[in-house]
Amino acid sequence: MQNSYKRVDAHLSSLGYCTRSEAKKFLSKNMVCIDGVRVFDVREKAYHNDITVENEPLDAENLLILMNKPSGAVCSHNDVGVLIYSLLPQRYQNRNPKISTVGRLDADTTGAILLTDDGELNHKLTSPKSDVLKVYEATLVQPLRGDETEIFASGELMLHGEKKPLLPAKMEIINPTLVRLEICEGRYHQVKRMFGAVGNRVVALHRVSFGDFSVEDLKPSEYKVINFP
């Protein structure tokens, strides 16, 4: 865990409490303390862990957030519609560096998505070498034909336009038009394309978990901050 030493206004602005230019006013209106002693001078220097705002510790220097993404939310900083970041507190939206999603989910896909302002962690989790297990529930337009489980598990399925077969994937049948699929890759629209390759179509897609992080206890749009690894 980081514990940087810098000016109070630098701490507050990087964590989204206020801008550098607003810091003086923020200190006059809010009880900001270093080691329990209120400060009014933005030039005061301190360690992150020694600062409180209204008797609460500063937000973590790096955030890792798990959200149950609702349908319609867009994983983008610059797009039309409901942006996923708008579901977070304004302070989180103001952080520098910005919070970004770890990978993306389509607007109509729901479920587990991680967000972080740690670029190194984001890269690690999205790297093809990461082998992060992802579990999806897919609702299909028509009943399974019966050979999909074997095909997905074979490690031989080729998607259109790809030069390399998919790694084996495990499928659990919940009912003829609802399945749970475990994959450890993150190819473009992978689950939808997998079912397209076997003559079916996904009409609803929900990611239950990303690695060790499950949203089964979170309602749509709910999120929780994860202790940083």
Verify whether residue 106 is a known catalytic residue: yes
Catalytically annotated residue among 35, 41, 79, 106: 106
**The 32-34 sheet, strands edge to edge:** 37-38, 32-34, 51-53, 56-57
Query: Which residues are the active-site residues?
Result: 106
